[in-house]
A and B are shown apart, each in its own frame.
Chain A
Amino acid sequence: SYVLTQPPSVSVAPGKTARITCGGNNIGSKSVHWYQQKPGQAPVLVIYYDSDRPSGIPERFSGSNSGNTATLTISRVEAGDEADYYCQVWDSSSDHPVVFGGGTKLTVL
């Protein structure tokens, strides 16, 4: 089945830009979705179709996807952005069609 690889942790100072990567074989040919999960809470969709934002998600959150890497970018990071972030793809040709990455813990210094 398809594998998504995320760094376990990313640290960033307030006001700076955080970039969280999601690696997969030719992931650029798939649509990538990102979820934010704060402690004790359910995941929240923050980016879908690589770079679209649901209503209510700040413009500071953006996404890109090309080649073997998708990236979630959080600009002007705030303390409230500290959370775990998961990427997800749908692999229609697989018998395991819904795949999540291992998650990245974003720490705001």
Chain B
Amino acid sequence: QITLKESGPTLVKPTQTLTLTCTFSGFSLSTSGVGVGWIRQPPGKALEWLALIYWDDDKRYSPSLKSRLTITKDTSKNQVVLTMTNMDPVDTATYYCAHRVATRVVYFDYWGQGTLVTVSS
């Protein structure tokens, strides 16, 4: 059974760096084809893809946020970490991590419960 859970601060100040951790079970990020993505959702708005890391450490980022994002993995701990620099109130959102199916295209079959991050002074 695949599960994912996001953790991190619920409140950050503008200009600070956000660090979120996705802790998962039921799969290994060393298995060929597997990936973990981060997706966020501002209150009342649509889903927005942020970043994706593959089993082979290949990484992809949303072009609009690429300069602020870093995604890493710790296979031994079954964790994926997303950092976002220079946080702004518009970054207030629920942040989800999700399991990427090992297939030729990218979609997400299991999602974490999400964590709400508020950016405010």
B49 touches A98 (CB 8 A): yes
The 16 sampled A-B contact pairs (Cβ below 8 Å) are: A1-B63, A31-B107, A33-B107, A35-B108, A37-B47, A42-B96, A43-B96, A45-B107, A86-B47, A96-B62, A96-B64, A97-B52, A97-B106, A98-B49, A99-B49, A103-B46
Query: Chain A contacts of B62 at CB under 8 A?
Result: 96
B80 to chain A, nearest CB (A): 15
CA distance A31 to B106 in the complex (A): 9
**Chain B 41-60: CB-based contact to A (< 8 A → 1; otherwise 0):** 00000111100100000001
Query: Chain B contacts of A35 at CB under 8 A?
Result: 47, 108
B46 touches A97 (CB 8 A): no
CA distance A98 to B60 in the complex (A): 9
- Number of A-B residue pairs, CB cutoff 8 Å, is 57
Chain B interface residue number, banded = 20 to 34
CA distance A49 to B101 in the complex (A): 12
What count of chain A residues pass the 8 Å CB interface test?
Answer: 25
Nearest-CB residue, chain B, relative to A42: B111
- Say whether B113 faces chain A, with CB atoms less than 8 Å apart: yes
Using a CB-CB cutoff of 8 Å, which residues 65-103 of chain A contact chain B? 86, 88, 90, 92, 95-103
